[in-house]
A = this chain, B = another copy of it.
Amino acid sequence: MIDPKLNSLLQRFEQQDVRALARLITLVENRAAEVSTVMEHVYSKTGHAYTIGITGAPGAGKSTLVNQLIGKYRAQDKLVAVLAIDPSSPFSGGAVLGDRIRMTDHYRDTGVYIRSLSTRGHHGGLSRAAREIVKLLDAFGYDIIVIETVGVGQTELSVMDLANTTVVVTVPEGGDSVQVMKAGLNEIADLFVVNKADRDGADRIKAELELSVHLRPTEGWRPPVLLTQAAAGVGIDAVVAAITRHADYLREHRDPVGEGERRVHEFAEVLAAEMEERTARALKDGAVSVEAIMKEVRQGVLNPYTAARRTIEDRTSVAELLGQTKAARTVE
Protein backbone atom coordinates (compact mmCIF):
# COMPACT_ATOMS: atom_id res chain seq x y z
CA MET A 1 0.00 0.00 0.00
CA ILE A 2 2.91 2.37 0.76
CA ASP A 3 5.20 3.47 -2.02
CA PRO A 4 8.28 1.16 -1.96
CA LYS A 5 10.74 4.08 -1.96
CA LEU A 6 8.99 5.65 1.01
CA ASN A 7 8.89 2.28 2.71
CA SER A 8 12.63 1.80 2.36
CA LEU A 9 13.16 5.33 3.68
CA LEU A 10 11.05 4.51 6.74
CA GLN A 11 12.99 1.29 7.27
CA ARG A 12 16.31 3.10 7.12
CA PHE A 13 14.88 5.66 9.56
CA GLU A 14 14.09 2.84 11.98
CA GLN A 15 17.65 1.56 11.59
CA GLN A 16 18.91 4.95 12.82
CA ASP A 17 20.16 6.11 9.43
CA VAL A 18 20.66 9.86 9.84
CA ARG A 19 20.41 10.44 6.08
CA ALA A 20 16.95 8.88 6.11
CA LEU A 21 16.01 11.21 8.96
CA ALA A 22 17.27 14.17 6.94
CA ARG A 23 15.26 13.06 3.89
CA LEU A 24 12.07 12.69 5.94
CA ILE A 25 12.58 16.14 7.47
CA THR A 26 12.93 17.54 3.96
CA LEU A 27 9.63 15.89 2.98
CA VAL A 28 7.99 17.59 5.96
CA GLU A 29 9.61 20.92 5.12
CA ASN A 30 8.35 20.70 1.53
CA ARG A 31 4.87 19.62 2.65
CA ALA A 32 5.04 16.51 0.48
CA ALA A 33 1.93 14.38 0.09
CA GLU A 34 3.71 11.58 1.97
CA VAL A 35 3.93 13.53 5.24
CA SER A 36 0.83 12.13 6.85
CA THR A 37 1.82 8.55 5.96
CA VAL A 38 5.24 9.19 7.46
CA MET A 39 3.72 10.60 10.63
CA GLU A 40 1.30 7.70 10.94
CA HIS A 41 4.29 5.37 10.85
CA VAL A 42 6.58 7.09 13.29
CA TYR A 43 3.98 8.35 15.77
CA SER A 44 4.01 5.31 18.04
CA LYS A 45 7.74 5.78 18.57
CA THR A 46 7.39 9.32 19.91
CA GLY A 47 6.96 10.47 23.48
CA HIS A 48 10.46 9.81 24.74
CA ALA A 49 12.30 13.09 24.03
CA TYR A 50 12.39 16.18 26.22
CA THR A 51 11.95 19.40 24.27
CA ILE A 52 13.61 22.66 25.29
CA GLY A 53 12.68 25.93 23.58
CA ILE A 54 15.24 28.74 23.54
CA THR A 55 13.94 32.12 22.50
CA GLY A 56 14.94 35.76 22.75
CA ALA A 57 15.97 38.74 20.69
CA PRO A 58 18.74 38.53 18.07
CA GLY A 59 22.08 39.08 19.73
CA ALA A 60 21.00 37.78 23.13
CA GLY A 61 23.40 34.86 22.80
CA LYS A 62 20.84 32.10 22.29
CA SER A 63 23.08 30.06 20.01
CA THR A 64 26.02 30.32 22.39
CA LEU A 65 23.77 29.11 25.19
CA VAL A 66 22.48 26.26 23.01
CA ASN A 67 26.06 25.31 22.21
CA GLN A 68 26.86 25.12 25.93
CA LEU A 69 23.72 23.12 26.68
CA ILE A 70 24.63 20.61 23.98
CA GLY A 71 27.97 20.11 25.73
CA LYS A 72 26.30 19.50 29.10
CA TYR A 73 23.76 17.00 27.75
CA ARG A 74 26.40 15.20 25.70
CA ALA A 75 28.46 14.85 28.88
CA GLN A 76 25.40 13.01 30.29
CA ASP A 77 25.54 10.75 27.18
CA LYS A 78 22.25 12.07 25.90
CA LEU A 79 21.56 12.30 22.19
CA VAL A 80 20.80 15.90 21.29
CA ALA A 81 19.00 17.41 18.30
CA VAL A 82 18.77 21.13 17.57
CA LEU A 83 16.08 22.66 15.38
CA ALA A 84 17.01 26.27 14.59
CA ILE A 85 14.14 28.44 13.37
CA ASP A 86 16.04 31.65 13.67
CA PRO A 87 17.37 33.22 10.48
CA SER A 88 20.12 34.91 12.49
CA SER A 89 21.29 31.70 14.13
CA PRO A 90 24.71 30.36 13.13
CA PHE A 91 23.07 26.91 13.39
CA SER A 92 20.93 27.93 10.43
CA GLY A 93 24.10 28.50 8.49
CA GLY A 94 22.30 31.78 8.95
CA ALA A 95 24.49 34.74 9.69
CA VAL A 96 22.96 36.83 6.98
CA LEU A 97 24.59 39.58 5.02
CA GLY A 98 28.07 38.19 4.91
CA ASP A 99 28.69 37.63 8.60
CA ARG A 100 31.19 34.89 9.09
CA ILE A 101 29.50 31.59 9.92
CA ARG A 102 30.65 30.60 13.36
CA MET A 103 30.94 26.84 13.40
CA THR A 104 29.81 25.30 16.64
CA ASP A 105 31.81 22.87 18.69
CA HIS A 106 29.52 19.97 17.94
CA TYR A 107 29.30 19.62 14.19
CA ARG A 108 31.50 16.53 14.15
CA ASP A 109 29.77 14.78 17.06
CA THR A 110 27.42 12.07 15.74
CA GLY A 111 25.40 12.26 18.96
CA VAL A 112 24.32 15.73 17.90
CA TYR A 113 22.02 16.49 15.00
CA ILE A 114 21.58 20.10 13.92
CA ARG A 115 18.96 21.20 11.47
CA SER A 116 17.63 24.58 10.49
CA LEU A 117 14.14 25.34 9.27
CA SER A 118 13.67 28.34 7.05
CA THR A 119 10.98 30.76 8.13
CA ARG A 120 10.36 31.82 4.55
CA GLY A 121 7.49 30.78 2.37
CA HIS A 122 5.67 28.73 4.97
CA HIS A 123 2.77 31.11 5.44
CA GLY A 124 1.18 29.60 8.47
CA GLY A 125 2.62 26.15 7.97
CA LEU A 126 5.81 26.83 9.91
CA SER A 127 4.58 25.69 13.31
CA ARG A 128 3.01 22.62 11.72
CA ALA A 129 6.31 21.68 10.05
CA ALA A 130 8.19 22.35 13.28
CA ARG A 131 5.82 20.12 15.25
CA GLU A 132 6.28 17.28 12.79
CA ILE A 133 10.05 17.62 12.66
CA VAL A 134 10.15 17.44 16.46
CA LYS A 135 8.09 14.22 16.26
CA LEU A 136 10.58 12.80 13.74
CA LEU A 137 13.56 13.68 15.93
CA ASP A 138 11.77 12.19 18.93
CA ALA A 139 10.90 8.98 17.06
CA PHE A 140 14.47 8.73 15.77
CA GLY A 141 15.71 8.52 19.35
CA TYR A 142 17.07 11.91 20.38
CA ASP A 143 16.75 12.41 24.13
CA ILE A 144 16.91 16.18 24.11
CA ILE A 145 15.46 18.36 21.36
CA VAL A 146 16.37 22.04 21.46
CA ILE A 147 14.28 24.43 19.41
CA GLU A 148 15.84 27.84 18.89
CA THR A 149 13.66 30.70 17.62
CA VAL A 150 14.02 34.44 17.53
CA GLY A 151 11.64 35.66 20.19
CA VAL A 152 9.52 38.04 18.20
CA GLY A 153 6.57 37.37 16.00
CA GLN A 154 3.36 35.44 16.27
CA THR A 155 4.53 32.33 14.41
CA GLU A 156 7.84 32.20 16.23
CA LEU A 157 6.11 32.37 19.61
CA SER A 158 3.62 29.68 18.67
CA VAL A 159 6.49 27.31 17.90
CA MET A 160 7.37 27.51 21.59
CA ASP A 161 4.14 25.59 22.32
CA LEU A 162 6.15 22.55 21.26
CA ALA A 163 8.62 22.93 24.10
CA ASN A 164 8.29 21.18 27.44
CA THR A 165 10.48 23.89 28.94
CA THR A 166 10.71 27.34 27.35
CA VAL A 167 13.82 29.36 28.15
CA VAL A 168 13.63 33.09 27.42
CA VAL A 169 17.06 34.68 26.98
CA THR A 170 17.58 38.40 27.53
CA VAL A 171 20.58 40.67 27.88
CA PRO A 172 21.15 43.65 30.17
CA GLU A 173 21.27 46.20 27.36
CA GLY A 174 18.07 44.96 25.73
CA GLY A 175 16.37 48.19 26.73
CA ASP A 176 13.21 49.19 24.94
CA SER A 177 12.86 46.18 22.70
CA VAL A 178 13.19 43.84 25.64
CA GLN A 179 10.39 45.78 27.31
CA VAL A 180 8.23 45.27 24.28
CA MET A 181 8.99 41.62 23.92
CA LYS A 182 8.54 40.81 27.54
CA ALA A 183 4.85 41.42 26.96
CA GLY A 184 4.66 38.30 24.84
CA LEU A 185 7.59 36.36 26.24
CA ASN A 186 6.70 36.72 29.88
CA GLU A 187 3.70 34.47 29.47
CA ILE A 188 5.53 31.62 27.78
CA ALA A 189 8.72 31.57 29.87
CA ASP A 190 9.35 28.66 32.20
CA LEU A 191 12.83 29.94 32.85
CA PHE A 192 14.51 33.31 32.26
CA VAL A 193 18.18 33.61 31.46
CA VAL A 194 19.90 36.99 31.65
CA ASN A 195 22.93 36.35 29.48
CA LYS A 196 26.07 38.51 29.23
CA ALA A 197 25.53 39.02 32.93
CA ASP A 198 28.93 40.67 33.35
CA ARG A 199 27.53 43.75 31.67
CA ASP A 200 25.92 46.71 33.44
CA GLY A 201 22.30 46.37 34.37
CA ALA A 202 22.17 42.58 34.72
CA ASP A 203 20.97 42.76 38.32
CA ARG A 204 18.38 45.38 37.43
CA ILE A 205 16.87 43.28 34.64
CA LYS A 206 16.98 40.21 36.89
CA ALA A 207 15.03 42.13 39.55
CA GLU A 208 12.54 43.36 36.94
CA LEU A 209 11.94 39.85 35.62
CA GLU A 210 11.58 38.44 39.14
CA LEU A 211 9.04 41.14 39.92
CA SER A 212 7.06 40.31 36.77
CA VAL A 213 7.12 36.62 37.75
CA HIS A 214 5.73 37.44 41.18
CA LEU A 215 3.00 39.56 39.64
CA ARG A 216 1.74 36.52 37.75
CA PRO A 217 -1.77 35.61 38.77
CA THR A 218 -1.15 31.89 38.42
CA GLU A 219 -0.26 29.44 41.11
CA GLY A 220 2.21 26.71 40.40
CA TRP A 221 5.56 26.91 38.68
CA ARG A 222 7.41 30.20 39.22
CA PRO A 223 10.00 30.76 36.49
CA PRO A 224 13.45 31.25 38.01
CA VAL A 225 15.67 34.04 36.67
CA LEU A 226 19.27 32.94 36.12
CA LEU A 227 22.39 34.89 35.24
CA THR A 228 24.78 33.42 32.67
CA GLN A 229 27.82 34.34 30.63
CA ALA A 230 27.28 31.72 27.99
CA ALA A 231 30.40 32.57 25.98
CA ALA A 232 32.55 31.84 29.05
CA GLY A 233 30.46 28.85 30.13
CA VAL A 234 29.42 30.58 33.37
CA GLY A 235 26.04 29.67 34.86
CA ILE A 236 25.20 26.85 32.44
CA ASP A 237 24.99 24.12 35.10
CA ALA A 238 22.36 26.14 36.91
CA VAL A 239 20.34 26.39 33.67
CA VAL A 240 20.51 22.63 33.18
CA ALA A 241 19.49 22.10 36.82
CA ALA A 242 16.54 24.48 36.46
CA ILE A 243 15.38 22.70 33.31
CA THR A 244 15.54 19.39 35.20
CA ARG A 245 13.53 20.88 38.09
CA HIS A 246 10.90 22.10 35.63
CA ALA A 247 10.77 18.66 33.97
CA ASP A 248 10.27 17.10 37.42
CA TYR A 249 7.57 19.63 38.19
CA LEU A 250 5.75 18.79 34.94
CA ARG A 251 5.99 15.07 35.69
CA GLU A 252 4.65 15.50 39.23
CA HIS A 253 1.80 17.72 38.07
CA ARG A 254 0.86 15.59 35.10
CA ASP A 255 -2.82 16.02 34.38
CA PRO A 256 -4.42 13.06 32.54
CA VAL A 257 -7.48 15.14 31.56
CA GLY A 258 -5.28 17.91 30.18
CA GLU A 259 -3.26 15.25 28.37
CA GLY A 260 -6.43 13.96 26.68
CA GLU A 261 -7.43 17.50 25.74
CA ARG A 262 -3.99 18.12 24.28
CA ARG A 263 -4.37 15.01 22.13
CA VAL A 264 -7.80 16.08 20.91
CA HIS A 265 -6.39 19.53 20.14
CA GLU A 266 -3.56 17.99 18.15
CA PHE A 267 -6.08 15.83 16.25
CA ALA A 268 -8.12 18.95 15.37
CA GLU A 269 -4.97 20.69 14.13
CA VAL A 270 -3.80 17.72 12.09
CA LEU A 271 -7.29 17.26 10.65
CA ALA A 272 -7.52 20.92 9.56
CA ALA A 273 -3.98 20.87 8.16
CA GLU A 274 -4.63 17.65 6.28
CA MET A 275 -7.81 19.04 4.73
CA GLU A 276 -6.00 22.22 3.76
CA GLU A 277 -3.03 20.44 2.21
CA ARG A 278 -5.12 17.87 0.33
CA THR A 279 -7.24 20.73 -1.02
CA ALA A 280 -4.22 22.80 -2.05
CA ARG A 281 -2.66 19.83 -3.86
CA ALA A 282 -5.93 18.96 -5.63
CA LEU A 283 -6.37 22.56 -6.79
CA LYS A 284 -2.78 22.63 -8.01
CA ASP A 285 -3.27 19.35 -9.88
CA GLY A 286 -6.37 20.83 -11.55
CA ALA A 287 -9.36 19.34 -9.74
CA VAL A 288 -11.98 18.85 -12.48
CA SER A 289 -15.04 19.47 -10.33
CA VAL A 290 -14.00 23.02 -9.42
CA GLU A 291 -12.82 24.08 -12.88
CA ALA A 292 -15.96 26.04 -13.69
CA ILE A 293 -15.93 27.89 -10.38
CA MET A 294 -12.19 28.64 -10.68
CA LYS A 295 -12.79 30.14 -14.09
CA GLU A 296 -15.39 32.55 -12.72
CA VAL A 297 -13.09 33.43 -9.84
CA ARG A 298 -10.18 34.06 -12.21
CA GLN A 299 -12.33 36.39 -14.33
CA GLY A 300 -13.43 38.26 -11.23
CA VAL A 301 -17.14 37.57 -11.78
CA LEU A 302 -17.42 35.41 -8.65
CA ASN A 303 -16.01 36.51 -5.30
CA PRO A 304 -13.80 34.04 -3.40
CA TYR A 305 -16.18 33.72 -0.44
CA THR A 306 -19.21 32.71 -2.50
CA ALA A 307 -16.97 30.42 -4.54
CA ALA A 308 -15.66 28.77 -1.37
CA ARG A 309 -19.15 28.28 0.07
CA ARG A 310 -20.46 26.73 -3.14
CA THR A 311 -17.43 24.44 -3.37
CA ILE A 312 -17.84 23.25 0.21
CA GLU A 313 -21.56 22.64 -0.26
CA ASP A 314 -20.90 20.50 -3.34
CA ARG A 315 -20.19 16.93 -2.29
CA THR A 316 -18.53 15.99 -5.57
CA SER A 317 -16.04 18.85 -5.26
CA VAL A 318 -15.24 18.09 -1.63
CA ALA A 319 -14.78 14.38 -2.42
CA GLU A 320 -12.32 15.28 -5.17
CA LEU A 321 -10.49 17.95 -3.16
CA LEU A 322 -10.06 15.67 -0.14
CA GLY A 323 -9.22 12.62 -2.24
CA GLN A 324 -12.28 10.76 -0.95
CA THR A 325 -13.11 9.45 -4.41
CA LYS A 326 -10.00 7.33 -4.47
CA ALA A 327 -10.57 6.06 -0.95
CA ALA A 328 -14.18 5.19 -1.73
CA ARG A 329 -13.14 3.36 -4.89
CA THR A 330 -10.69 1.24 -2.92
CA VAL A 331 -13.40 0.23 -0.49
CA GLU A 332 -16.12 -0.50 -3.04
Give the interface of A toward B (CB within 8 A): 36, 39-40, 43-44, 57-59, 87-88, 96-97, 99, 119-120, 122-124, 126-127, 150, 152-156, 158, 176-177, 179-180, 182-184, 259-261, 263-264, 266-272, 274-276, 278-280, 283, 293-294, 297-300, 303-309, 311-313, 315, 318-319, 322-324, 327-328
The listed residue (B156, B183, B263, B324) touching A153 by CB distance below 8 A is B156
Q: Is the interface of A mostly helix, strand, loop or mixed?
A: helix
Whole-angstrom CA separation of A179 from B98 in the bound complex? 10
CB atoms of B260 and A308 under 8 A apart: no
How distant is A80 from chain B, measured CB to nearest CB, in Å?
25
Return 9 A-B CB contacts under 8 Å, by A number: A40-B306, A57-B177, A124-B155, A126-B154, A263-B298, A270-B307, A271-B308, A312-B323, A315-B315
Whole-angstrom CA separation of A87 from B181 in the bound complex? 9
CB atoms of A297 and B267 under 8 A apart: yes
Whole-angstrom CA separation of A176 from B299 in the bound complex? 46
Chain B residues whose C-beta falls within 8 Å of the C-beta of A327 in the assembled complex: 313
The listed residue (B39, B120, B264, B276) touching A276 by CB distance below 8 A is B276
Nearest B-chain residue to A311, judged by Cβ: B271
Nearest B-chain residue to A125, judged by Cβ: B124
Nearest B-chain residue to A303, judged by Cβ: B43
Whole-angstrom CA separation of A23 from B177 in the bound complex? 33
CB atoms of A308 and B274 under 8 A apart: yes
How distant is A274 from chain B, measured CB to nearest CB, in Å?
5
Chain B residues whose C-beta falls within 8 Å of the C-beta of A88 in the assembled complex: 180, 183
The listed residue (B154, B308, B328) touching A122 by CB distance below 8 A is B154
Chain B residues whose C-beta falls within 8 Å of the C-beta of A268 in the assembled complex: 279-280, 283
CB atoms of B270 and A272 under 8 A apart: no
How distant is A75 from chain B, measured CB to nearest CB, in Å?
32
CB atoms of A279 and B283 under 8 A apart: no
CB atoms of A97 and B183 under 8 A apart: yes
Identify 13 new A-B residue pairs, CB closer than 8 A, beyond the known A263-B300, A269-B304, A271-B283.
Answer: A36-B308, A43-B306, A87-B184, A153-B156, A260-B300, A264-B298, A267-B297, A268-B280, A271-B311, A274-B312, A278-B312, A312-B323, A315-B324
Chain B residues whose C-beta falls within 8 Å of the C-beta of A124 in the assembled complex: 124, 127, 155, 158
Whole-angstrom CA separation of A60 from B272 in the bound complex? 38
Chain B residues whose C-beta falls within 8 Å of the C-beta of A123 in the assembled complex: 127, 154, 158
Whole-angstrom CA separation of A323 from B311 in the bound complex? 12
Chain B residues whose C-beta falls within 8 Å of the C-beta of A59 in the assembled complex: 176-177
Whole-angstrom CA separation of A263 from B296 in the bound complex? 10
CB atoms of A263 and B58 under 8 A apart: no
Contact A155:B152 (CB < 8 A) given known A272-B279, A312-B278:
no
Whole-angstrom CA separation of A275 from B282 in the bound complex? 14
Contact A309:B150 (CB < 8 A) given known A176-B59, A264-B298, A318-B324:
no
How distant is A152 from chain B, measured CB to nearest CB, in Å?
4
Whole-angstrom CA separation of A324 from B312 in the bound complex? 7
- Please give me the 3 A-B residue pairs with the lowest Cβ-Cβ distance, nearest first: A153-B153, A154-B155, A43-B303
